[in-house]
Structures are given as structure tokens and as C-alpha cells.
């Protein structure tokens, strides 16, 4: 399994044709206390860059974009009952949705963990 990152502070785990998407620990820290996550329905298809989910923190609502194109095969139902999972475990149990990858070549433009760390340090 390989993990990729975007400059919109999302992480993407790729296993076969399925990509699991979430927001990074840096992102949840910036957003603050998360009180609601609006997730896409199964079967929804996204082009890379589409609005895919919305994170509501105490402060504001923030969009989460589809980091690659694909079809939603599962959304993380645990976030409905416990949106604060995104704060406590952003990069594991706080995942948002899983996509069936439409075009693996889109992964090439994403960052490695090392590159993402460097990117965050530069902010």
C-alpha cells in the first residue's frame, strides 16, 4: 500500500484499484474542533478537483476536494456519530471515503509523505 498527499492537505492510501481518502493531521489542526462531516453517497462519481465532502468545524465550513477521479464505493459512517474522530485520528480511523480509481496516472502528480512534510514546513 502506498500513501500519497495533496497540497489541499488530503492523504490517499492506494490498495489495488481502491483509494482511501482523508484529511491530514495538519489540516484537522488548522480546522479546529470538527462537529460535522458531510460525506458523498456511494456510487457518486468525481472528476479530480470536484467538491467531494464538507468539514464543519466550530469556526467554519471547509470543502474537501476529490484528489483523483473515481467512484465512491464507501463513506466512513463512523464520522456521522463521531465527527471528532477526524481530530483525534485524522490519518487512520478518521478517513472520509473510498474511491474506485478511474485513472491511475493521476496518482503521479501527488506528493510522497516526505514531500508533503517539506511542503507543510514551508507554510
Partner 1 sequence: MSGTQDATHFEDLPLEALPLDAWHRAKGARMVGFAGYHMPIQYEGIMAEHSWTREHAGLFDVSHMGQLTFSGEGVDAALEHILPSDIKGLKPFRQRYSMLLNEEGGILDDLMVSRLGDNAFDGAAIYMVVNGATKYDDIGWMIDYLPDDVVMNHMADQALLALQGPEAGEALAALIPETADMVFMQSGPFVWRGIPLWISRSGYTGEDGFEISIPADDVTLLADALCALPQVKPIGLGARNSLRLEAGLPLYGHDLSPAVSTIGADLGFAIQKRRREEGGFIGHARVMKELADGPGARRVGLTIEGRLPAREGATIHVGNTQVGEVTSGGFAPSVGAPIAMGWVSLPHSAEGTALEIEVRGKRIVAVVAPMPFVPHRYRRKA
Q: Which 3 state secondary structure label does DSSP give 9?
A: coil
User: CB of residue 97 vs partner 1: minimum separation in angstroms?
Assistant: 17
User: CB of residue 14 vs partner 1: minimum separation in angstroms?
Assistant: 29
> Cell digits for 44?
457518486
* Cβ proximity to partner 1, 20 vs 28, nearer residue: 28
* Cβ proximity to partner 1, 56 vs 93, nearer residue: 56
User: CB of residue 84 vs partner 1: minimum separation in angstroms?
Assistant: 9
Give one word for 113, left, alpha or beta, with left for phi > 0 and alpha for psi -120 to 50.
alpha
Q: Are residues 57 and 34 in contact, defined by beta-carbon separation less than 8 angstroms?
A: yes
Give one word for 43, left, alpha or beta, with left for phi > 0 and alpha for psi -120 to 50.
left
Q: Which of 68, 79, 76 is nearest to 19 (CA)?
A: 68
Binding site for partner 1 (CB under 8 A): 32-33, 35-36, 38, 54, 56, 58-61, 80, 83
User: CB of residue 2 vs partner 1: minimum separation in angstroms?
Assistant: 33
* Cβ proximity to partner 1, 38 vs 106, nearer residue: 38
* Cβ proximity to partner 1, 54 vs 102, nearer residue: 54
Amino acid at each position: 500500500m502506498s500513501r500519497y498527499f495533496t497540497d489541499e492537505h488530503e492523504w490517499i492510501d492506494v490498495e489495488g484499484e481502491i483509494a482511501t481518502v482523508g484529511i491530514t493531521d495538519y489540516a484537522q489542526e488548522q480546522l479546529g474542533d470538527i462537529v460535522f462531516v458531510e460525506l458523498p453517497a456511494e456510487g457518486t462519481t468525481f472528476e479530480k478537483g470536484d467538491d467531494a465532502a464538507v468539514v464543519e468545524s466550530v469556526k467554519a465550513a471547509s470543502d474537501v476536494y476529490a484528489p483523483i477521479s473515481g467512484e465512491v464505493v464507501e463513506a466512513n459512517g463512523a464520522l456521522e456519530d463521531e465527527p471528532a474522530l477526524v481530530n483525534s485520528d485524522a490519518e487512520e480511523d478518521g478517513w472520509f471515503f473510498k474511491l474506485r480509481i478511474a485513472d491511475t496516472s493521476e496518482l503521479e502528480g501527488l506528493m510522497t509523505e516526505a514531500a508533503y512534510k517539506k511542503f507543510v514546513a514551508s507554510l
